[in-house]
Amino acid sequence: QVHLVESGGGVVQPGRSLRLSCAASGFTVSSYAMQWVRQAPGKGLEWVAVISHDGSNKYYADSVKGRFTISRDISKNTLYLQMNSLRAEDTAVYFCAREADTSLVIDYWGQGTLVTVSS
């Protein structure tokens, strides 16, 4: 059974850094592309980043490019999102998601972790 559990959210001051983790179970992250998606309070979903199944390719939304880094640790079966130079507009619930192996679609989601950027 596929499970994704995010952690690492919290309150952080503007300009500071935070690292989110996503522990996967029921599958191996080395076999699937993985994504991060966020949702600001009361707003819609926004695609953030993707890492390819072999880890060789990483792509980002323009809004986070140069500030966020997606990575994974195969030994821990865990996905990460390193967020630097945080801004108030980065405040959101961050979802970890698995991309299906047969199409470019997200088939499983975590429950999300809330990041609040505020002084």
Partner 1 sequence: QSALTQPRSVSGSPGQSVTISCTGTSSDVGGYKYVSWYQQHPGKAPKLVIYDVNKRPSGVPDRFSGSKSGNTASLTISGLQADDEADYYCYSYAGSYTFVFGGGTKLTVL
List contacts with partner 1 (CB under 8 A).
Answer: 35, 37, 44-47, 50, 52, 57, 59, 61-63, 95, 100, 103-107, 109-112
8-state DSSP, 100: P
Considering the complex, what minimum distance in angstroms separates the CB of residue 84 from partner 1? 20
- How far apart are the C-alpha atoms of 112 and 95, rounded to whole Å? 4
Nearer to partner 1, 63 or 77 (CB): 63
Considering the complex, what minimum distance in angstroms separates the CB of residue 103 from partner 1? 5
Picking from 3, 16, 12, the residue whose alpha carbon sits closest to that of residue 67 is 16
Considering the complex, what minimum distance in angstroms separates the CB of residue 107 from partner 1? 6
- How far apart are the C-alpha atoms of 76 and 49, rounded to whole Å? 20
Nearer to partner 1, 8 or 46 (CB): 46
Q: Are strands 113-117 and 92-99 parallel, antiparallel or unpaired?
A: antiparallel
Nearer to partner 1, 103 or 119 (CB): 103
- How far apart are the C-alpha atoms of 105 and 119, rounded to whole Å? 36
The two tokens of residue 19 are 């690292």
Considering the complex, what minimum distance in angstroms separates the CB of residue 43 from partner 1? 8
Nearer to partner 1, 37 or 81 (CB): 37
